[in-house]
Amino acid sequence: MEMKAKTLALVVAAGAALSLQAHAQSCCPSGGHGVPAATGLGESAPRATNLATDSAWRIYEFQRDGVNYLQINDATGVVRAAVGRINETLWVLPMGKDVARVSLSATPAAPGRVVYQTGDFVVWLRSDAKGDAWVVTSRD
């Protein structure tokens, strides 16, 4: 009887240890260390901080597995564009109302006005009769 009780106690302890490990792994996109990562890339109201310098726009940054993402929304939550970055390489993600009007340039000829600027990205907005266009560059 004592052997069964010891075995049962061992099984319960092992189960508890494994469930805590699984819970820790599912906790946070940040791996459970530090501040949880922003989530919601592609959503109209992501769980991330609006970083835009212009109140007409909502600009969010996301990071995952060494990739930085930038998402531009208008004030109503419509996704306008998104860009990814690894080191100095930028690319436009296939999402947003203005996806065809996003350019990636080191030195834009007619940049427009800056609506966002950090250590990773600079975003210029150009508005004309055709609509809004975006120039996104990496910050050196």
How confident is the model over 82-115, as pLDDT tens digits? 999 999 899 999 999 999 999 997 666 776 899 9
Cα separation, 42 vs 46, in Å, equals 8
Task: Say yes or no to pLDDT of 135 above 70.
Answer: yes
CA neighbor of 87 nearest in space, from 120, 116, 61? 120
- Residue 26 has a pLDDT of 45
The values of phi and psi at residue 50, to 5°, are -70, 120
User: Could you tell me which residues come within 8 angstroms of residue 113 by beta carbon, excluding any fewer than 6 positions away?
Assistant: 54, 124, 125
- Please report which confidence band the pLDDT of residue 22 belongs to, taking 50, 70 and 90 as the band edges: very low
* CB-based contact 37:62 (threshold 8 Å): yes
- Residue 23 has a pLDDT of 45
Beta bridge partners of 67: 64
What does the pLDDT look like over 40-91, one tens digit per residue? 899 999 999 999 999 999 999 999 999 999 999 999 999 999 999 999 899 9
The model carries a pTM of: 0.71
- Residue 61 has a pLDDT of 94
